[in-house]
Amino acid sequence: MQIEFVAPDSAFAANTAVAALVFADKAMSQAAQDLDRASEGALGRAVAASRFTGAKGQSLEVSAPHGLGIGRVILMGGGPRAEFNAKAAEQIAASAYAAVKASGLEALAIDLAEWPVEVAAQAGLGVRLAAYRFDRYRTTEKPDKKPSVTKVQLVVSDPDKATDAYDPLSTLSDAVYFARDLISEPANILYPEEFARRVKRLEALGLEVEILGEKEMAALGMGSLLGVGQGSIRESQLAVIQWKGAADPAAQPLAFVGKGVCFDTGGISIKPADGMEDMKWDMGGAAAVAGLMHALAGRKAKVNVVGILGLVENMPGGNAQRPGDIVTSMSGKTIEVINTDAEGRLVLADALWYCQQRFQPKFMVDLATLTGAIIIALGHDYAGLFSNNDDLSDKLLAASKASGEGLWRLPIPASYEKQIESMAADIKNVGGRPGGSITAALFLQHFVNGLPWAHLDIAGTAWKKPSSDATIPDGATGFGVQLLDRFVADHYEA
Ligand code: BES
Ligand code: MN
Ligand code: ZN
């Protein structure tokens, strides 16, 4: 997909769709008025003959209007003009692309010449995100099902300035693509070692990547993480990614930790067959952290950041851990494994402990597809936020608002600790159905050693099928990359 910024006087080929804004109460943008005049009023008549009012999210397509010599006009509802902004442009541009991507037309031009170049640049990001496609394994797809639009032209007042404004957003979208690719890969291809190899390749961007295998983790005492992976023939891995962008490479880093369960069968507490294939994306937290590191390196962020990924496969088998097993975590705390399907927290327990011991970061933020309960609580548009620190929470919530990736804070009351008390060990790995996402967060809190910490339960947001957001084609969302890039940029860079 080629995205370019062009000047207002550009001519468009016959195989092009041209999109122009119409604001609330049918207020045509300059671009829409120009098209209407050139088509001798065809657009105005089309609007009059429909229910299109210019409300946000509406669109009206007019095929081959007389006098224009182009394939199609798309009138995009922009809502009230005074409320139109970059975020709205991102959504609208993504919707316009989605509407024509498989139409047979080859190009889409979106006229934003009336708006600041930053608005057009954000529209470019919307298109790029909407154009994501995971088609590596499709060898027989019918040509008429494939996207036909290969070029998107954004009409702007100053193409050079707009290109400069788009540049960092293009870099950010590369990172989102990287995360989406990891999430989309099936588990026979992307197992822990393969995930680690792909992360290792990020060294080309200037990141430092270390991979710990089972031997190294055993020496560190990571009995909790290793217990999850022991039923799999695939070796568990811990990836440690460092970005040293601060003036002082030894300055205290920020830390992000991801759950990377490359496939979650549930283990001996095996999941039902129906929908189990979805558990290939149980590494969405690790993918988001890897994507964030990609984004930070891509824009040479002036800050030190550590990313830790706990990579395992949760399988049943002769050597799998059993319900009732007691494992000793790196922290020394013993854990009774009541349900082998509550494995994410076991992986994170050691990853979090290792992270704070080795790096003493300013804070730790973990991302994990941790509980089905968070989907019941919040659905697919908000991830759960749990934290022991109000300041950290507020900053994450602000970045959520700015990025459009939803977060909603939930409590972690000490009174619920009772639910994860074990009869035989220091703690147990499940707390029953009431507040299932909360007791999972409380469990994690035992392994943060008092550091400022936030946990994002992204079980509902890592994947959408079907998607309700044009910037997210059905499937992997890459949730967390944009949110955390924004969070780091707004608060921690010199
Ligand atoms: N990976 C799942 C959580 C999940 C469920 C993510 C559905 C996305 C969609 C996690 O490992 C899990 O199995 N959690 C259990 C915990 C329970 C056994 C306490 C769950 O949520 O049912
Ligand atoms: Mn599980
Ligand atoms: Zn899981």
Q: Which residues pair with 476 in a beta bridge?
A: 463
Report every protein residue that has its C-beta within 5 angstroms of ion ligand 3. Answer: 261, 264, 282, 344
Which atom of ligand 1 is closest in space to residue 430's alpha carbon? 19
Cα-to-centroid distance, 430 and ligand 2 (Å): 11
Task: Tell whether the model's pLDDT for residue 143 goes beyond 90.
Answer: no
Supply the pLDDT for residue 494: 79
Helical H runs in 361-446?
373-378, 390-403, 436-445
| 72: nearest Cα among 46, 53, 100 | 100
Cα-to-centroid distance, 284 and ligand 1 (Å): 13
In the predicted model, what is the mean pLDDT of residues 159-165?
A: 98
The angle formed by the CA atoms of residues 79, 85 and 90, to the nearest 5 degrees, is 90
CA dist 50 and 20 (Å) reads 17
Supply the pLDDT for residue 391: 98
Cα-to-centroid distance, 203 and ligand 2 (Å): 31
Cα-to-centroid distance, 228 and ligand 2 (Å): 10
- The residue whose CB lies within 8 Å of the most ligand 1 atoms, and thus the one to mutate among 224, 262, 341, is 341
Please tell me which residue in 271, 302, 333, 409 is annotated as part of the active site: 271
Cα-to-centroid distance, 180 and ligand 2 (Å): 21
H or E element, residue 72: strand 72-77
Q: For the chain, what percent of residues have pLDDT higher than 90?
A: 98
- DSSP letters along 77-114, please? E--SGGG--HHHHHHHHHHHHHHHTTSS--EEEEE-TT
Which atom of ligand 1 is closest in space to residue 314's alpha carbon? 11
Task: Tell whether the model's pLDDT for residue 152 goes beyond 90.
Answer: yes
Q: Is 486 part of the annotated catalytic residue set? A: no
Which atom of ligand 1 is closest in space to residue 279's alpha carbon? 1
Smallest CA separation from ligand 1 atom 8, residue: 459
Pocket residues: Cβ below 6 A from ligand 1: 264, 282, 339, 341-344, 369-373, 430, 436, 459
Q: Is 345 part of the annotated catalytic residue set? A: yes
SS3 238: strand
| 464: nearest Cα among 166, 102, 129, 96 | 129
Task: Tell whether the model's pLDDT for residue 145 goes beyond 90.
Answer: no
Report every protein residue that has its C-beta within 5 angstroms of ion ligand 2. Answer: 264, 341, 343
Cα-to-centroid distance, 57 and ligand 2 (Å): 37
Q: Which residue has the tokens 């005049």?
A: 37
Supply the pLDDT for residue 144: 86
| 458: nearest Cα among 241, 266, 288, 237 | 288
In the predicted model, what is the mean pLDDT of residues 272-295?
A: 98
Smallest CA separation from ligand 1 atom 17, residue: 342
- The token duo for 381 is 């548009």
Smallest CA separation from ligand 1 atom 6, residue: 459
- How do residues 179-216 score in pLDDT, each as one tens digit? 999 999 999 999 999 999 999 999 999 999 999 999 99
Supply the pLDDT for residue 1: 87
In the predicted model, what is the mean pLDDT of residues 156-176?
A: 98
- DSSP letters along 130-172, please? HT----TT-SS--GGGS----EEEEE-S-HHHHHHHHHHHHHH
Which atom of ligand 1 is closest in space to residue 440's alpha carbon? 19
Supply the pLDDT for residue 317: 96
- The residue whose CB lies within 8 Å of the most ligand 1 atoms, and thus the one to mutate among 268, 371, 378, 420, is 371
- How do residues 302-319 score in pLDDT, each as one tens digit? 999 999 999 999 999 999
Supply the pLDDT for residue 465: 87
- Ligand index nearest the alpha carbon of residue 278: 1
Q: Would strands 59-63 and 453-457 be described as parallel, antiparallel, or unpaired?
A: unpaired
In the predicted model, what is the mean pLDDT of residues 409-421?
A: 98
Smallest CA separation from ligand 1 atom 5, residue: 372
In the predicted model, what is the mean pLDDT of residues 446-451?
A: 98
**C-alpha R_g of the chain:** 24
- Ligand index nearest the alpha carbon of residue 312: 3
- The token duo for 442 is 């409380």
- How do residues 325-383 score in pLDDT, each as one tens digit? 999 999 999 999 999 999 999 999 999 999 999 999 999 999 999 999 999 999 999 99
Average pLDDT value over all residues in the chain: 97
| Alpha-carbon distances, residue 388 vs 32, 105, 140, 412, 450 (angstroms) | 51, 52, 51, 8, 8
Please tell me which residue in 101, 345, 395, 428 is annotated as part of the active site: 345
Task: Tell whether the model's pLDDT for residue 9 goes beyond 90.
Answer: no
State the amino acid at position 158 in one-letter form.
D
CA dist 250 and 304 (Å) reads 8
- How do residues 219-277 score in pLDDT, each as one tens digit? 999 999 999 999 999 999 999 999 999 999 999 999 999 999 999 999 999 999 999 99
Supply the pLDDT for residue 244: 98
**What's the burial of 9, exposed, middle or buried (CB within 10 Å: 0-12/13-18/19+)?**
exposed
List the strands of the sheet with 427-428, edge to edge: 325-328, 334-337, 427-428
Cα-to-centroid distance, 369 and ligand 2 (Å): 9
- Ligand index nearest the alpha carbon of residue 267: 2
Q: What is the DSSP letter of 233?
A: S
